[in-house]
Amino acid sequence: MSNEHWWPEQLSLKPLRRDSALGDPLGGDFDYAEAVKTLDVDALRRDIGEVMTTSQDWWPADYGHYGPLFIRMAWHAAGTYRISDGRGGGGSGHQRFAPLNSWPDNAN
């Protein structure tokens, strides 16, 4: 049975599929390599550092830093990989979706 059988009201993620024209809001003529060259990497690094260390009231950071949470989530995501069929793993972000999103270990 498919996930749609158990969760028929789930949001369709088909537009987000890799290499789909529906998932590319910038169009086929957009040059990603050129856009990356204009990126201010130092500013990006500072922004990421600020996000990682700015605790939010609605999701407090453990000891003032979100790094341990990110590491734990990556560990749990990698633990979903199945050798039998090659599904799961940390490269797809499936922890956001059922049934993985309901497992107590996959939350803060």
Angle at 98 between CA 97 and CA 104, to 5 degrees: 100
Q: How far apart are CA 34 and CA 103, in angstroms?
A: 41
Catalytic residue among 5, 65, 76, 94: 76
Structure tokens at 51: 């996000």
Annotation marks residue 76 as catalytic: yes
Residue 56 contacts residue 50 (beta carbons within 8 Å)? no
Which residues are known catalytic residues?
76
